[in-house]
């Protein structure tokens, strides 16, 4: 067990189905996290249940009054030592409420110039589910949702890992819960949760990241600073 006074994880659920493959995978991920870190706090939020207005430019105005749900979610993101996003892939993208929240994050995850992230390397893990086979994810769908990890990096976060769960269908043309019958997928999520929680605990303790991701974050941050100077 890794000892730390408190490590905080935030799990964002973007799907709307109940039961949900994404929720079950995220639950296994959380189970693995709890096995690795003492005094772990995990907040789980279903984005579809929140009332968050669509992005408008005035939301960048510091004097703008943000909605209560958005302010609460912003606080959870800022306080978290690691963030997990579980989302289905719908029509080559993610649900609109997740995309809207990513757009809205710019109000607190970017500096006043909107050119540098402020998340200080905060660890993220992305869980995707979809009806397509793994080959379609590798060849195409990973590209169509690439805005999500790229936005997180731009905001100053570090994507420590991604998982795509393929063929989430009960039959031809019938979407439904299937991962409850995939012990290997649930076991993998527990393993990923264990690794991620340990990284989040290190980050909470001293702001450090796994070596490769720490180097990538520093390089990305340097590029942002150079581009800001050029502008």
Angle at 130 between CA 129 and CA 132, to 5 degrees: 140
Cβ-contact 60, 106 below 8 angstroms: yes
Q: Where are the domains of the chain?
A: 7-230
pTM (2 d.p.): 0.93
Cis? peptide before 19, omega within 30° of 0: yes
pLDDT digit string, tens, across residues 59-113: 887 666 778 999 999 999 999 999 999 999 999 999 999 999 999 999 999 999 8
Q: Average per-residue pLDDT in the chain? A: 92
More confident residue, 224 or 92: 92
Note the CATH number of domain 7-230. 3.40.50.360
What pLDDT digit, counting tens, does each position of 120-156 carry? 999 999 999 999 999 999 999 999 999 999 999 999 9
Indicate whether 43 pLDDT > 50: yes
**Residue from 35, 37, 46 nearest 11 by CA:** 46
Instruction: Say how far apart CA 30 and CA 60 lie, in whole Å.
Output: 33
Tokens of 165: 């769960």
Q: Average of pLDDT values for 209-224?
A: 87
């Amino acid at each position: 067990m890794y000892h730390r006074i408190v490590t905080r994880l935030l799990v964002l659920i973007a799907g709307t189905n109940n039961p949900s493959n994404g929720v079950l995978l995220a639950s296994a991920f959380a189970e693995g996290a709890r096995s690795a870190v003492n005094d772990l706090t995990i907040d789980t939020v279903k984005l579809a249940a929140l009332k968050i207005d669509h992005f408008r430019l005035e939301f960048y105005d510091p004097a703008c009054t943000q909605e209560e749900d958005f302010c609460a979610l912003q606080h959870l993101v800022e306080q978290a030592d690691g963030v997990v996003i579980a989302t289905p892939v719908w029509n080559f993208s993610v649900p609109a409420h997740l995309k809207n929240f990513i757009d809205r994050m710019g109000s607190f995850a970017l500096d006043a110039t909107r050119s540098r992230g402020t998340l200080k390397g905060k660890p993220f893990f992305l869980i995707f589910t979809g009806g397509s086979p793994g080959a379609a994810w590798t060849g195409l769908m990973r590209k169509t949702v690439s805005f999500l990890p790229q936005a997180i990096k731009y905001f100053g976060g570090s994507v420590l890992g991604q998982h795509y769960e393929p063929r989430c269908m009960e039959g031809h043309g019938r979407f439904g819960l299937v991962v409850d019958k995939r012990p290997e997928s649930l076991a993998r999520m527990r393993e990923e949760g264990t690794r991620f929680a340990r990284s989040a605990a290190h980050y909470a303790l001293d702001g450090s990241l796994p070596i490769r991701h720490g180097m990538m974050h520093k390089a990305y941050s340097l590029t942002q600073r150079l581009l800001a100077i050029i502008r």
